[in-house]
Chains A and B, each alone.
Chain A
């Protein structure tokens, strides 16, 4: 591993080591570009992942103080926890459930496809689908996505058998065990999935792709990576010329350090990325970095998620097996006749026993609640993953009243649901309920919207600088050597789980950065 001097002005500094930052670090270092990778969390491994759900949550989750506001259910049901993402080396790829569908071509043309939807800030992506598809193909090979490139699908779990039978009763056609970044066979030096059901706690088999044990070690092997764990970026600095030139961070000892940089790439997930830009305000950029458009933090999307649980007469044992290895893709289309624009996936889901009452039924108590828990063996689960509408007022801001442990203003997450979001959720939960009703479930009930993991669009790509924060390469409109390298740069969320898209965008961005650096432009 490289040791890059704090005063070295030649390195690229990447903030965050998840799907975006971890992959970008590998892509740049393998091209010979020195990278300092700042990671706020600790470095775990397949050996240290806790198998106690509560402990694993504490071990991996970003739990710094945050606040939230707005009408969304998360503010009511999960006060203090607007988002469930990670603070650990490998970022949220440690706890993700590895569902890796592609966006559809029309989803990249959201504004054109959906037309004028009042109360939204929809735009089209500044890049075309054929352009993105090339990188989807690369990303799918990189991640070993099942049911692509001849990689076999995962076998059907009990929970999926219920999903499949119900979906077929409704006439759904595109139902399978998912495009998953989980090894169905040993591959890439990693073992195959042994159906532990502990995807969210960190895969002790390493069968699930995570930058922690793929991209990061590969980057380290180049000798060009300086990974600094437990190092929290505090602000990005710039010179008189308006270009960024350093990142100030607190190291693992709490000491402030200042790393000079040729280029800075922010990949802190859709909440921390805009927060860091806002925290980096200066006399020259009083609204924060890359924010002349006032779009940093706005248009925050998180995708519509929500459970439907079905209780059956016979056992399901839903916790056995890869957590989200199942999907119905028949609702991924746009038809306003359904009462909303955009589409959704129906995905498989299960929760371990300790998590079920806290996340699956977070407001329950009393006889009715307990009667559901009594049926835990017989519960099958489904999850919506649908497109939500960007709104200018759904945004990440700095809360002047509340400080984090470093004395910096905490992020406030504000979400008012758009009527389209509510209509989509209602339709999805209706269809999911019908699937279970068709199988004779004795009780069907919806669960809440859970804390957001798919934090996107809060520093989005836009053709017009006034509509967003970056161009089609994730390069900020205002500052040519400042890049956004995570889901924050997505122009709209679509209905696909975002990680594959993030990886594809970053593979593409890495080519651009290395070309621009070689040409001396950045």
Chain B
């Protein structure tokens, strides 16, 4: 079976949010970090500049160079949602971003890591780390990128879709396993 669940980008666009549509449809992702474009439309609690910094924070926490910004944008959308529900959270995010400074997004990765390490125990960093882990790996873009095929019940499970297709090791004797159900 194909090792990758290939996900057609256009299919994804149909099921995704306006924010992502804006980001992806406009092409190059980095260019879109400029304030006043996709971000400005969909953010409710954070400014575009704050969101752009947070996206770089998320990329520093979980640096997958070839993973589309759209996946990271989902993290920022979730952070924005939390911030819009709770003033304390918004305050924490704003202060965290401010403490990183305006130069953070443009600085080299080693410097960004140093800056985040210094605030590793802070509520801001911990909530950004948790939110990144919770959101970044839980969406169709990530599933396609990491090759994860997700739920299988609707497709009849993996029983006939590769649960035992590993061939680089010997097969297990039937006495220690079992035959496929007839």
Residue of B nearest to A439 (CB): B169
Q: How far is the CA of A473 from the CA of B141 in the complex (A)?
A: 53
Contacts of A161 in B (CB 8 A): 164, 166, 169-172
Given A153-B177, A177-B178, A353-B148, A196 and B157 contact (CB-CB distance below 8 Å):
yes
* Docked-complex contact A353 and B178, CB < 8 angstroms: no
Query: Which A165-224 residues have C-beta < 8 A from chain B?
Result: 165, 175-177, 184-186, 192-198, 204-205
Is B18 part of the binding interface, using a Cβ–Cβ cutoff of 8 Å?
Answer: no
Q: How far is the CA of A186 from the CA of B182 in the complex (A)?
A: 10
Contacts of B180 in A (CB 8 A): 155
Q: How far is the CA of A253 from the CA of B146 in the complex (A)?
A: 44
| Chain B 137-154 near chain A by CB (<8 Å), digits 1 or 0 | 110001100111111111
* Docked-complex contact B62 and A369, CB < 8 angstroms: yes
Contacts of B129 in A (CB 8 A): 365
* Docked-complex contact B163 and A153, CB < 8 angstroms: no
Q: How far is the CA of A354 from the CA of B150 in the complex (A)?
A: 10
The segment from A313-321, A463-471, A506-514 that touches chain B is: A313-321
* Docked-complex contact A184 and B181, CB < 8 angstroms: yes
The segment from A1-9, A258-266, A371-379, A449-457 that touches chain B is: A371-379
Contacts of B133 in A (CB 8 A): 357-358, 365
Contacts of B156 in A (CB 8 A): 194
Is A496 part of the binding interface, using a Cβ–Cβ cutoff of 8 Å?
Answer: no
Contacts of A314 in B (CB 8 A): 166, 168
Contacts of B3 in A (CB 8 A): 315, 317, 377
Q: How far is the CA of A422 from the CA of B153 in the complex (A)?
A: 39
Residue of B nearest to A314 (CB): B168
Query: Which A358-399 residues have C-beta < 8 A from chain B?
Result: 358, 365-367, 369-370, 373-374, 376-377
Instruction: Pick 30 A–B contacts, CB within 8 A, sort by A.
Output: A51-B154, A53-B138, A54-B138, A155-B164, A155-B178, A156-B178, A161-B171, A176-B177, A184-B178, A185-B181, A186-B181, A192-B181, A194-B159, A196-B153, A196-B157, A197-B152, A205-B153, A315-B166, A317-B147, A317-B149, A320-B152, A320-B161, A321-B158, A353-B138, A354-B137, A354-B138, A365-B62, A365-B116, A373-B146, A376-B148
Apart from the given pairs A162-B169, A164-B169, A198-B153, 4 other A-B contacts in the complex at a CB distance below 8 Å: A53-B138, A192-B181, A315-B166, A366-B63
- Taking Cβ atoms with an 8 Å cutoff, the residues of B that contact A are 3, 60-64, 109, 113, 116, 129-130, 132-134, 136-138, 142-143, 146-154, 156-159, 161-166, 168-172, 176-181
- Taking Cβ atoms with an 8 Å cutoff, the residues of A that contact B are 51-54, 146, 152-158, 160-162, 164-165, 175-177, 184-186, 192-198, 204-205, 314-317, 319-321, 352-354, 356-358, 365-367, 369-370, 373-374, 376-377, 439
